[in-house]
Amino acid sequence: MKVYHTLEPIYNQNSKVLILGSIPSVKSREENFYYAHPRNRFWLTLSKVYNEEITDKKEFLLKHKIALFDVIKECDIEASSDSTIKNVIPNDLSEILENSEIEAIFTTGTKAYTLYQKYIYPKTKIEAIPLPSTSPANSKKDIEEILLESYLKIKDYTNK
C-alpha cells in the first residue's frame, strides 16, 4: 500500500537534536501525531530520560530542544511493518537543518538508520546515531533498560 507522510516536522530555531523514525505507523497517521500507538514506548522513554511527565508532547519536545520527523516522505508499506518498506522517497531535511541549531541526528530503529544512511546522509554528511526502536514489535528482554540507557545520549546535546 502506498503511504504518504502527512505529519509536519516538529522543531524550532532552538532545536539541537533531530530524532528521525522511518514513517508514521497506521495509528500515528490516524491520530495525526508521532508515536501514537499506546504500546509504543517513545514518549515513556523520553519522560524517563528527562524525569518529567509529558502532558503536551510538542511543548515537551521544544522545551528540551528536540526536533522530530521521519526519514520517509512516501513508500509502499504493509500496515506498520518496517520490514515491508519498498519504493522509498525520502523527506528533505534541509528546512529543519537550515532553521535550527541541530548538532546531532538520532534514528529510532534499524530501518530508520539504514534508510537515513542510504538516502539522506549523502546529502547532509551528518552521521546519524542509531537508537533502538521503541515499537511494541521490539520486545527484547530488558528493553526498557536498554531504551533508557540508549536514549540518555540525547541529553548530551540538549542540556548544554
Contact 72, 21 (CB under 8 A): no
Q: Where are the alpha helices (DSSP H) in 25-159?
A: 26-31, 42-49, 57-63, 94-98, 110-115, 121-124, 143-151, 155-158
Burial of 14 per CB tally in 10 Å (0-12, 13-18, 19+): middle
Please identify which of the residues 12, 14, 32, 40 carries the catalytic annotation: 40
Residue 159 falls in the annotated catalytic set: no
Please identify every residue annotated as catalytic: 40
